[in-house]
Amino acid sequence: MNEWGLRSQVRQRLGEETGMLLKEATFRMALCYPSPYTVGMSSLGFQAIYREIHLHPGAAAERAFLPDSPDDYRRSRTPVFSYESERPLSEFPVLAFSISYELEITGLFEMLDLSGIPLLRENRGARHPLIVAGGPLTNSNPLPLAPFVDLIILGEGEELVHTFLAAAAAMDRAKLLECFARTPGCYVPGVSADLPCIAKVDDRRLPARSQILTPNTVLSSMFLVEAERGCSRGCTYCVMRRTTNGGMRLVPVETVLSSVPEHAKRVGLVGAAVTDHPDIRKIVRGIVDTGRKIGISSLRADRLDEELVSLLARGGYRTLTTASDGATQRLRNLVARRTTEQHLIRAAQLVKRCGIRQLKLYELIGLPTETCDDIDELIRFSRELATIVPVSLALSPFVPKRNTPLDGLEFEPVASIGQKLARLRAGVKGKVELRSTSARWAWVEFMLSQGDERAGLAAMDAWQEGGTYAAWELAFTRRGAKPLRGRAVQDGRRTPPLFGVQSSPGA
């Protein structure tokens, strides 16, 4: 595709949006998402920060995304440009990246490179944009980003973005970075001594909600709104558990419902444990009774009953998705997952009774102490569920994350996970649909999630050398990137060892 075609594609997408914000402003920054438009515009956090920037006096944001086909931009010598004004990213004073998970770091590289901006912070000067990073990744371990960004905002950014915009209007770059090195919730690579605790916004700012609706997203034209923020549960593999930022913070029913605009035909309730909201049935009924379709980001099997599942069926559910997250009850107990076989059987029965077509279960594979006996038990149980209702298993290799009680554990060898997946496929063949994310790329995610700046530099090397799995393996080895082995990065405390695994100090 040539440059005209690339710009025409962006203009067509803009023409199908509802809610884009435009205003005259003395300070304009680019809000960037290092994945394609269809993914970025499905991110509630990205949309929330977009609105907050426009609420700040004298400031405005223009959006930019990883191109669908970076090679088209490279061949046509087209720099990445903003959607609102088609201005090249290199001309903005600030590029703020919202990064959801570790593997999106290569999208950051791609966008900077296509814009003619040096990847490494040390190779940029005053004529280059200031590079800021935030987003869900910062709740765990943002250290691999450090060689490439000037400032990292950790955790909830709705208030810190206003602090940043005020400082950007009043200070030069050096003073701004010096100031934010002392600001809670902010980390300035090369200046700050340690990562601070993640930021938490005042509950009065809740809920986050969509600003722009578009059919060109993963969640086509769905209006997203928080029913709660945080989690009431203590699953030991999860970053967003009840000890993170004060646990679950509820949004009142009336606030959730009044946030939904008249023109929204599909509503998605977002949160780490939406069905733990004590008034979830009132919220869902209030949406469904207006004739809208509904989606919920986190259905917990132990919270499902006939009233709720019937409402979901009325709201357009064809597949009910929940999580088991442990091949057997023993493993679920081990990681403090409260879901039981009885909950999952009950979920399957409700799916059938309420006329929903399929039950989809998210499942972790490779949890600590997992054996082939556990896999065989999962085969047995999945086949049992499939006698009630069609079942789909969505498998993800377990990736130990920083700042969780399982921080410091090893990643199960890729070959071992492959053998277990093969055993599963053979065991459920013809009875249960099975899909799995790649064990190889889960290992890459693990190395980034447990790494420091060297892991980030290895990511740059691997991307420059074609991004193959072999390139990643070589890059991690060459850079000496190793897991930090349980050294907590937010509060200075070491994570206690679990299951007999000792945490070592880290390099």
Give the count of domains, the chain.
1
Phi, psi of 211 (to 5 degrees): -110, -40
Residue 142 lies in a domain: yes
Q: What is the pLDDT of residues 237-296, one digit of tens each?
A: 998 888 888 889 999 999 999 999 999 999 999 999 999 999 999 999 999 999 999 999
Q: What range does the domain containing 19 cover? A: 3-187
What pTM does this model have?
Answer: 0.92
Tell whether the torsion through CA atoms of 434, 232, 270 and 359 is positive or negative: positive
Residue 42 lies in a domain: yes
For residue 457, pLDDT beyond 50: yes
Q: What is the pLDDT of residues 48-92, one digit of tens each?
A: 999 999 999 999 999 999 999 999 999 999 999 999 999 999 999
pLDDT of residue 494: 35
Residue 166 lies in a domain: yes
Which residues does 113 contact at the CB level (< 8 Å), separation at least 6?
A: 119
**Angstrom distance (rounded) from CA 346 to CA 328:** 16
Q: What is the pLDDT of residues 423-447, one digit of tens each?
A: 999 999 999 999 999 999 999 999 9
Residue 140 lies in a domain: yes
The mean pLDDT of the chain is: 93
Residue 105 lies in a domain: yes
Distance (Å) of CA 207 to CA 47, 151, 167, 174, 224: 12, 26, 26, 34, 10
Percentage, residues of the chain above pLDDT 70: 95
Mean pLDDT score, 180-196: 93
Distance (Å) of CA 17 to CA 212, 220, 378, 451, 470: 6, 11, 44, 39, 41
For residue 486, pLDDT beyond 70: no
pLDDT of residue 243: 82
Q: How confident is the model at residue 495 (pLDDT cuts 50, 70, 90)?
A: very low
Mean pLDDT score, 150-177: 95
Residue 399 lies in a domain: no
DSSP-based three-state secondary structure for 33: strand
User: What type of residue sits at position 307?
Assistant: E
Q: The domain spanning residue 115 has which CATH number?
A: 3.40.50.280
